[in-house]
Amino acid sequence: MQTVEDVVLRGHEFLSQLPNWQRIVVAVRDGDQLVVRAATGLEEVDAPLPLAFFDQVMEKGKGVLVLDASKDAKVQLPDGILSALCSPIVDAGGAARGVLYADSLARPGAFAYGHLFAADQLARQLGPALVSAVPASPLPAEPAAGKPPLVPIALIGAALLWALFGSLVSSGRKLEVERVESTPTIVTATTADPQAVVRSFLACLQQRNPAGAYRLLSQSHQRRLSEQDFTAEIETWMGVPENAWALSYRRAGPAIKLGDTVAEVEIEPGEDKPGKTWKWTLVLDDEGWRVDRLQLK
């Protein structure tokens, strides 16, 4: 039986494979609230999420592709967003259950209609899956005794939503957008588990998206290696056909906790596939579980 987290992760993994994105979000309805269940890139972009746009897409029940927001008067997005893709997660009865969303503040035309078509197809599968899924684990009201909260997040007047990949974020936002504009809302977050982080990291590598993978490296790893150097190393490694082939069929196994702040995930070659199992080590940073050491041979 799938859990809500399983369904959400499917959506997030799909979005992470799109080209040119700067932010990706999976948001799911919980009663009369829209809850951001997974997000990547929000902490790096100083722009609010287009909450009213989410509502419009869910109300119409039809995906929307924004090629260039600066030239499209029909779509109102927060200043700075140039390209966006949003697909409603709809159940078998046609009721909106949430959205899949990606955007870029760096370039117009970041996404194509083929991407929207694929997102719409997946969103139609996720809706019924959410209906039959095991309810999500409740978010903790308070951090564990003696430990600071991993990711304190505040959403003030819908001006800023700062989140990390894989975070489970209760937006506390009523669907009436005007209430958000006048009412400060406090948001708490918990990070994704180690396996979820590795699955998305692996998906980024398989889709040749080193920038997305770099976001999921530990702080210490990023201090040791710049994004430019990491990208160069990955592209060089992927340039060897045998390496690219070996990576293409890999999948993340279960996570093994080695302590409160260290975990190991085996990257398995898959059934009847050649190659030995790789082992990737994760550490618990201020930003949550992040990949610290990875074996690629």
Q: Rounded CA gap, 179 and 5, in Å?
A: 28
- Give me the amino acid identity at 11: G
pLDDT tens readout for residues 44-56 = 777 889 999 999 9
Domains of the chain, first to last: 4-190 (3.30.450.40), 194-294 (3.10.450.100)
Q: Any residues with CB less than 8 A from the CB of 51 and at least 6 apart, and which?
A: 34, 158, 173, 177, 180
Task: Give the DSSP letter string of 101-130.
Answer: EEEESS-TT-S-HHHHHHHHHHHHHHHHHH
Give the model's pLDDT for residue 279: 92
Q: Any residues with CB less than 8 A from the CB of 148 and at least 6 apart, and which?
A: none
Give the model's pLDDT for residue 32: 81
Cα distances from 270 to residues 60, 77, 141, 243, 248, in angstroms, run 41, 43, 39, 15, 10
Give the model's pLDDT for residue 149: 33
11: left (phi over 0), alpha (psi -120 to 50) or beta: alpha
pLDDT tens readout for residues 126-183 = 999 999 987 655 444 444 444 333 232 222 222 223 233 333 333 333 322 222 222 2
Give the model's pLDDT for residue 136: 52
Whether the CB-CB separation of 195 and 252 falls below 8 Å is answered with yes
Q: What are φ and ψ of residue 90, in 5° steps?
A: -120, 135
Give the model's pLDDT for residue 243: 87
Per the confidence metrics, is the pTM higher than 0.75?
Answer: no
Give me the residues of the chain with pLDDT under 70, please.
135-192
